[in-house]
């Protein structure tokens, strides 16, 4: 029997562009946008690093006039208490989500759990009529994607997916150059992301090393890059062909242990990580290990690593453009290159995040016109996380700040399209064939 609340592929394809629906966290429930003296009741589920650093302490510091923390929830009963201290709030803590929702009665819910569980809290939050925001990736597989879209349809409202990368001024600049039309039609793009032997390795120490927790880096990490590309191109992904391999971490290691602290190989291991030097991580993870046996300094060479560290994909888009993409997780430096090969020229970006030499600037952007000249694009100086992008994102969400159409909040459509690109890439690697995005909506 047909279920009217089931989100069909046709619904998805015909859904309006992500920006239009994105503001609905506020507009569907006007009470959430109120600017009078009542503060919005705010709760977080999944109180680890992201919750405390991006959606916890900075909100207490800068948004206490519009927000009131009413509950924090995590499956680790000790971490949720540690997080409360780090955030510096005086609200109840919970290990049971339903109990938190019943007792704390939030208006707004931030979902910052391990990726695989976002879907549970997004759908429950929606069914309770709460304004839901989730960290990326929205979900880790197509079944979860459908569940979120179905839940939105039943609830009659949309979630926000907090793609902070869009709000970095350099990324906005790229969007605006492409939107201006000065380079004409975009023919193809080259996008290479480099994760270094520190940050890249860190994914293999943590839950991210397991496909069933983070969907692999195709989803967990590349969702950021796929969202940027979908947004920059103003197009949807259509088909993905990919290859992926695990060449450095996991089974490739010459030795291994459970985690770094007791490891007998630490003196000779280039990936040895001394977590005891990080006070915050000691408090958030090490002090609470006995509650869940989760080791934040896990061995990067554990045999159970089932994700890839070396990935390539070719993505075809609905506007006829293509992307040649790579993600490598054991590089000597951190950063990326992206280039747009257009009818009338080329736009190139080289971003330096960390390297063993002095880079003159963090980001270089050049526009080169065919039969013409190369122009260096100057970027505005901005302060704060991600060049001021984090604050702009938080202002949009919590202060309902105004923004041009292309900077409006990303919604489930953006969350789905970027995840589905990664899910299609992962499927393509596993099944050794090109995968159409449309296929993921069958059945
Ligand atoms: N946008 C970004 O740039 C960015 C950066 C880092 C992390 N993130 C995202 O934030 C989320 C959290 O990442 P993190 O680095 O804080 O990880 P983390 O491991 O520090 O925290 C995750 C927390 O979720 C809890 N948890 C796990 N399963 C749960 C469940 N079923 N119910 C409730 N709580 C559960 C864990 O106990 C832990 O406290 C992830 O989705 C990640 O992708 C986004």
At 380, give phi and psi (nearest 5°).
-65, 145
Question: Quick one: which of 41, 47, 91 has its CA closest to 66?
Answer: 41
Q: By C-alpha distance, which of 309, 94, 287, 155 is closest to 217?
A: 309
Predicted local confidence at residue 33, as pLDDT: 45
Alpha carbon separation from 423 to 241, 388, 429, 439 (Å, rounded): 11, 30, 10, 11
Q: What are phi and psi of 388, to 5 degrees?
A: 90, -5
Instruction: Determine the pLDDT at residue 442.
Output: 75
Per-residue pLDDT reduced to its tens digit, 127-152: 999 999 999 999 999 999 999 999 99
**Measured from the CA of 163, which atom of ligand 1 is nearest?**
1
Phi, psi of 373 (to 5 degrees): -110, 165
Q: What is the distance in A from the centroid of ligand 1 to the CA of 368?
A: 41
Among 3-12, 62-71, 351-360, the least confident range? 3-12
Model confidence at 251: pLDDT above 50 = yes
Mean pLDDT score, 41-68:
97
Beta-sheet pairing, 310-317 with 322-331:
antiparallel
Q: What is the pTM of this model?
A: 0.94
- Which residue, among 149, 168, 167, has the nearest Cα to 159 in the 3D structure? 149
User: Best of 44, 53, 75, 114 to mutate for ligand 1, by most ligand atoms within 8 A of CB?
Assistant: 114
The least confident of 33-42, 106-115, 294-303 is 33-42
Pocket of ligand 1 (CB under 6 A): 45-51, 74-76, 79, 112-115, 117, 135-136, 164, 220
Cβ atoms of 148 and 412 closer than 8 Å: yes
Render pLDDT for 162-190 as a digit per residue (tens, 0 to 9): 999 999 999 999 999 999 999 999 999 99
Two tokens, residue 206: 């943590």
pLDDT at 37 over 90: no
Gap from CA of 51 to ligand 1 centroid (Å):
7
Beta bridge partners of 317: 237
> Edge-to-edge strand order for the sheet containing 131-134?
93-94, 67-73, 40-45, 108-111, 131-134, 160-161
* Among 57, 52, 64, 20, residue whose Cα is nearest residue 398: 64
Q: Ligand 1 centroid to 191 CA: how many Å?
A: 26
Residue 86, CA distances (Å) to 59, 77, 170, 284, 303 in order:
12, 15, 31, 9, 34
Between the CA of 112 and the centroid of ligand 1 the distance, in Å, is 5
The answer, yes or no, to whether residue 25 has pLDDT greater than 60, is no
Percent of the chain with pLDDT over 90: 87
3-state helix, strand, coil in the chain (%, to 5): 40, 20, 35
Q: Give 382 or 123, the one with higher predicted confidence.
A: 123
Rg (CA), the chain: 22
Question: Which residue lies with its CA nearest to atom 43 of ligand 1?
Answer: 136
Ligand 1: which atom is nearest the Cα of residue 164?
A: 1
pLDDT tens-digit profile of 181-238? Answer: 999 999 999 999 999 999 999 999 999 999 999 999 999 999 999 999 999 999 999 9
Q: What CA–CA distances, in Å, run from 323 to 188, 371, 415?
A: 6, 24, 19
Instruction: Write the CA distances from 346 to 228, 337, 343, integer angstroms.
Output: 18, 13, 8
**Given pLDDT bands bounded at 50, 70 and 90, which one contains residue 8?**
low
User: What is the C-alpha separation between 228 and 418, in angstroms, rounded?
Assistant: 9
Measured in Å, residue 49 CA sits from the centre of ligand 1 at: 7
């Amino acid at each position: 029997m047909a279920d009217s609340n089931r989100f069909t592929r046709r619904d998805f394809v015909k859904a309006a562009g992500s920006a239009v629906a994105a503001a609905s966290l506020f507009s569907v429930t006007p009470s959430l946008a109120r600017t009078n003296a009542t503060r919005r009741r705010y709760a977080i589920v999944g109180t680890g690093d992201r919750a405390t650093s991006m959606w916890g302490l900075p909100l207490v510091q800068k948004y206490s006039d519009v927000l009131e923390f009413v509950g924090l929830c995590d499956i680790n009963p000790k971490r949720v208490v540690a997080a409360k201290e780090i955030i510096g709030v005086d609200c109840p803590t919970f290990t049971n989500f339903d109990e938190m929702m019943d007792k704390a009665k939030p208006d707004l819910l931030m979902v910052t759990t391990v990726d695989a569980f976002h879907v549970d809290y997004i759908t429950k939050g929606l069914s309770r009529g709460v304004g839901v925001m989730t960290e990326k990736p929205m979900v880790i597989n197509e079944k979860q994607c459908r569940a979120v879209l179905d839940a939105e349809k039943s609830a009659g409202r949309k979630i926000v997916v907090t793609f902070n990368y869009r709000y970095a001024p350099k990324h906005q600049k790229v969007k605006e150059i492409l939107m201006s039309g000065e380079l004409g039609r975009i023919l193809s793009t080259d996008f290479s992301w480099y994760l270094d032997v520190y940050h890249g390795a860190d994914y293999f120490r943590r839950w991210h090393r397991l496909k069933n927790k983070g969907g692999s880096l195709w989803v967990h990490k590349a969702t950021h890059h796929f969202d940027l590309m979908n947004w920059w191109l103003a197009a949807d992904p259509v088909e993905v062909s990919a290859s992926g391999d695990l060449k450095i971490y996991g089974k490739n290691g010459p030795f291994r242990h459970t985690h770094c602290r007791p490891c007998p190989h630490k003196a000779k291991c280039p990936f040895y990580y001394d977590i005891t030097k990080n006070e915050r991580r000691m408090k958030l993870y090490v002090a609470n290990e006995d509650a869940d046996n989760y080791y934040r300094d896990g061995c990067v060479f554990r045999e159970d690593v089932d994700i890839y560290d070396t990935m390539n994909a070719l993505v075809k888009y609905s506007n006829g453009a293509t992307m040649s993409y790579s993600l490598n997780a054991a590089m000597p430096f951190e950063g990326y290159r992206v280039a747009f090969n257009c009818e009338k020229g080329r736009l190139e970006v080289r971003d330096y995040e960390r390297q063993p030499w002095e880079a003159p600037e963090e980001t270089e952007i050049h526009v080169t016109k065919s039969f013409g000249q190369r122009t260096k694009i100057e970027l505005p100086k901005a302060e704060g996380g991600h060049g001021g992008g984090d604050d702009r994102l938080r202002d949009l969400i919590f202060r309902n700040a105004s923004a041009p159409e292309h900077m409006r909040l990303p919604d489930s459509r953006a969350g789905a399209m970027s995840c589905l690109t990664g899910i299609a890439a992962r499927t393509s690697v596993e099944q050794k064939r090109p995968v159409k995005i449309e296929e993921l909506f069958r059945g």
